[in-house]
Amino acid sequence: MGLSMLGRGLLTLTSIPVILGAVVERAPGPSAQVETIERDVVIIGGGAAGSHAAVRLREDYKKSVVVVEKDVILGGHVDTYYDKNGAPHDYGVQCYFTYDDALDFIRRPALNLTLLPGLSRSATGFSATVRNIDFTTGKELANFTAPDAMVEIGAIVAMYQVLTSKGYDKMIEPGFYNLPAGPQIPDDLLLPVGQFAAKYNVSAALAKMYESTGGGPQARDTNFLNIMTLTFLQSFSPSWMKVFFGAADLFYVQGGNQKLYDAIATLLGSDVLYSTTVTSTERTPTGVKVTVRGPSGTKIIKAKKLLMAVPPTRENLAPFDLNPEETDIFAKPTYGRYGTAIVTHPKLTPGQELHNMPTSAVANPYAPFLNTAHVLTFSSYGTDTDLFSIGVSSSGSSYAAFDERAATRVAQQSLEKMAAVGTLPDLGCKKLAVVVWSDHGPGGFGVTPAEMRAGWMDRMYGLQGKRSTWYTGNAIAIDFTTQLWKMNDETLKRMLAAW
């Protein structure tokens, strides 16, 4: 989450009153005093899934909750940067699309928000001049012709029809509760997406899909076409396809998408512990004890249920008391890393979008795939500002290695390549300035087709409710906000049924 939000987040933090309903216990020892918080549900992570679940559980189902969030604000992948004039610039989540009744969540009166049609970025009406440049050579592609939009949309429609006619959409949306057991998963869903597209003659859909999802699934893989279709569909779901042919609508929150999570933060008040992470857990079939550490020290949370609303990566699970079954399941997935930022450089021209387009796309514009860690675009916010947004995908680099420094280096090197061949003016030793950076964490979380066939997802979903622990979030469901909220609805229904 961006540093620009730190100030506002800290304000939120310091305004948090003493934890309501907390029981203060004296721990053994002469001076140690550890606060104990008792709640029905402890939620780990306050992104799209965790924040939504907290509101639904507390406001609609009258369960007491506490959210453990490592950042200083709620919202996860939502990033709104407010410039010096107070204008919002979303550089993470751009929109919420219609999916069942999910948008009603934003419309609830308690949040007092206004939804506007379109992408947040389209609010200014600005449209950039696109320059297609191979960032590995730095050269502008003079003879590049963009794919035919009608051909691309036609292929997306055709792919949607394949998925829905075979019932694949119902197996994967919004979560994988209806996915058949490993041996019965349709072969199609385990094919590399390139083979799936070729089999159904929809390869022309992939360029647009890549542009919209490249950073997510491709964070883990060097070759986009090799990504398992099921993993790919997590980031380009059948319901998201509907947006491209006008069968679903887009909205954003007036004033910046972060406003949604600021409103949720206000509503939840002291039920969120910010800048806080788990240090240990003890989970049993009848309840959990979670020890956390935050700005005011260590606290113990006792709850009837735990909802994991962070990706179950090795990093996030390190403090958890995993049993052998859980250890085995969570050892399998691989994932890369993705980041977004707002940057400036005096040699970037306001009003332009520099699009990273491999030279091979001149011959085949329908396959503009990049196979190294890369920036997809330097995208101007307008002719009257020097701000550009970038997204940086690790594409095969290890998760730990691809931090902000590594990603910024990739972006700086791209500019240097362009300057070296005259595509950009001489950089004059100036480095890219990162105005605000946001770590979007694991991308493409998932296992191999063989592990899926062997039942990894059944075993993963089979953990739901065991040891009082439930799972939600983008790593194990469709990776779009409104679809995750419906995944939550299903998960919470099951959790409450098992109360």
Ligand X SMILES: Cc1cc2nc3c(=O)[nH]c(=O)nc-3n(C[C@H](O)[C@H](O)[C@H](O)COP(=O)(O)OP(=O)(O)OC[C@H]3O[C@@H](n4cnc5c(N)ncnc54)[C@H](O)[C@@H]3O)c2cc1C
Residue 312 as a binder of ligand X (CB under 6 A): the answer is: no
Nearest alpha-carbon partner for 345 in 411, 402, 285, 288: 411
Structural Rg of the chain based on CA atoms: 23
The Cα–Cα gap between 51 and 448 comes to: 30
Three-state DSSP state, 366: coil
Sole binder of ligand X in the list 19, 57, 96, 190 (CB under 6 A): 96
Three-state DSSP state, 172: helix
Footprint on residues 151-170 left by ligand X (CB under 6 A)? none
The Cα–Cα gap between 236 and 225 comes to: 14
191 vs 303 by CB, closer to ligand X: 303
365 vs 441 by CB, closer to ligand X: 441
Other residues' Cβ atoms within 10 Å of the Cβ of residue 129: 10
Sole binder of ligand X in the list 340, 385, 395, 414 (CB under 6 A): 340
Handedness of CA 159, 164, 169, 171 (dihedral sign): negative
Residue 92 as a binder of ligand X (CB under 6 A): the answer is: yes
Residue 49 as a binder of ligand X (CB under 6 A): the answer is: yes
Alpha-carbon dihedral 102, 103, 108, 109, rounded to 10 degrees? -170
Q: How far is the CB of 404 from ligand X (least distance, A)?
A: 14
313 vs 413 by CB, closer to ligand X: 313
Residue 256 as a binder of ligand X (CB under 6 A): the answer is: no
Annotate each residue in 167-206 with x if it binds ligand X (CB under 6 A) or - if it does not, as one string: ----------------------------------------
The Cα–Cα gap between 499 and 493 comes to: 10
Sole binder of ligand X in the list 39, 63, 77, 337 (CB under 6 A): 77
Contact range with ligand X by CB under 6 A, out of 159-167, 414-422, 461-469, 479-487:
479-487
Footprint on residues 423-452 left by ligand X (CB under 6 A)? 440-441
Q: How far is the CB of 187 from ligand X (least distance, A)?
A: 27
The tokens describing 177, both together, are 């509760």
Phi, psi of 385, rounded to the nearest 5 degrees: -145, 150
Residue 95 as a binder of ligand X (CB under 6 A): the answer is: yes
Q: How far is the CB of 142 from ligand X (least distance, A)?
A: 31
The Cα–Cα gap between 425 and 405 comes to: 24
| Sheet strands (E) in 245-367 | 250-253, 272-273, 277-284, 287-294, 297-308, 334-344, 352-356
Q: How far is the CB of 151 from ligand X (least distance, A)?
A: 25
Residues interacting with ligand X, by CB under 6 A?
A: 44-50, 68-71, 76-77, 92-96, 277, 309-310, 316, 338, 340, 391, 440-441, 473-474, 479-482, 484
